[in-house]
A and B are shown apart, each in its own frame.
Chain A
Amino acid sequence: EVQLLESGGGLVQPGGSLRLSCAASGFTFSSSVMSWVRQAPGKGLEWVSALSVSGGSTYYADSVKGRFTISRDNSKNTLYLQMNSLRVEDTAVYYCAKYYYNSGSLYFDYWGQGTLVTVSS
């Protein structure tokens, strides 16, 4: 059974930092493209970042570029999101999601339950 378990969320002041983790199990993590998606309270889903299998290629939404860093440790089956210079508008539930990829088709086939990040003074 595929499981994605996020952790690391919490309350942080504007300008602060937080690191989210996503522990993966039930599939070959080292062969999977991974991503973070967020959802502000009462709002829609927002694609945040994605990371290649090796970790050598990273992709970011314009809203977080330069402030967030996605990374992975394949030896620990864990995905990370380092969030710096946090803003009030970064307040959201952050989901870890596994990509399915097959010749031109790229979408999320598994999601974690999310971890809440609140940026407030």
Chain B
Amino acid sequence: SYELTQPPSVSVSPGQTARITCSGDALPEKYAYWYQQKSGQAPVLVIYEDSKRPSGIPERFSGSSSGTMATLTISGAQVEDEADYYCYSTVSSGNRGVFGGGTKLTVL
């Protein structure tokens, strides 16, 4: 079955740039989406269609995709950005979805 692979954890100091990667064989043809999930809360969309930012999401969040890898970048990470981040994409048929395993971002 199709998988998206993320690093389990990323750690940065406040103000540094955090980069979280997501690799998947179908990403050259399929969009990547990124969700932020804080403890005990439902996920929140932070990036859609590889690089677009929903309204209300701070400008420090950006996304890119090249080949089989998508990247979420948080420029000038803040303590409140500590959360689990999940990439999401659709399976080749387009009607099923798949999440990456999630990356725990620590900012301290």
Complex CA distance for A35 and B90, rounded to whole angstroms:
13
Give the chain A neighbours of B33 by CB distance below 8 A.
Answer: 107
CB atoms of A112 and B48 under 8 A apart = no
Interface flag for B66 (CB, 8 Å): no
Chain A facing B: main interface SS: strand
Residue in B86, B95, B98, B102 whose beta carbon sits within 8 Å of that of A57 in the complex: B95
Give the chain A neighbours of B96 by CB distance below 8 A.
Answer: 47, 50, 59, 61
Residue count of chain A within 8 Å CB distance of chain B: 22
Interface flag for A108 (CB, 8 Å): yes
Give the chain A neighbours of B35 by CB distance below 8 A.
Answer: 45, 108
CB atoms of A45 and B45 under 8 A apart = no
**Which residues of chain B from 12 to 50 have any CB-CB distance to chain A below 8 Å in the complex?**
31, 33, 35, 37, 42-43, 45, 48-49
Residue count of chain B within 8 Å CB distance of chain A: 23
Nearest Cβ on chain B to A1's Cβ, whole angstroms: 14
Interface flag for A31 (CB, 8 Å): no
Give the chain B neighbours of A111 by CB distance below 8 A.
Answer: 42-43
Assuming the contacts A44-B101, A107-B48, asked whether A50 and B95 have C-beta atoms less than 8 A apart, the reply is yes
B34 to A, closest residue via Cβ: A107
Nearest Cβ on chain B to A38's Cβ, whole angstroms: 10
CB atoms of A45 and B42 under 8 A apart = no
A48 to B, closest residue via Cβ: B97
Nearest Cβ on chain B to A108's Cβ, whole angstroms: 7
CB atoms of B42 and A107 under 8 A apart = no
Nearest Cβ on chain A to B88's Cβ, whole angstroms: 7
Nearest Cβ on chain A to B85's Cβ, whole angstroms: 10
Nearest Cβ on chain A to B47's Cβ, whole angstroms: 10
Residue in B86, B90, B99, B101 whose beta carbon sits within 8 Å of that of A106 in the complex: B90
Assuming the contacts A104-B31, A108-B43, A108-B45, asked whether A44 and B97 have C-beta atoms less than 8 A apart, the reply is no
A residues with a Cβ closer than 8 A to B are 35, 37, 44-47, 50, 57, 59, 61-62, 95, 104-109, 111-114
B residues with a Cβ closer than 8 A to A are 1, 31, 33, 35, 37, 42-43, 45, 48-49, 84, 86, 88, 90, 94-102
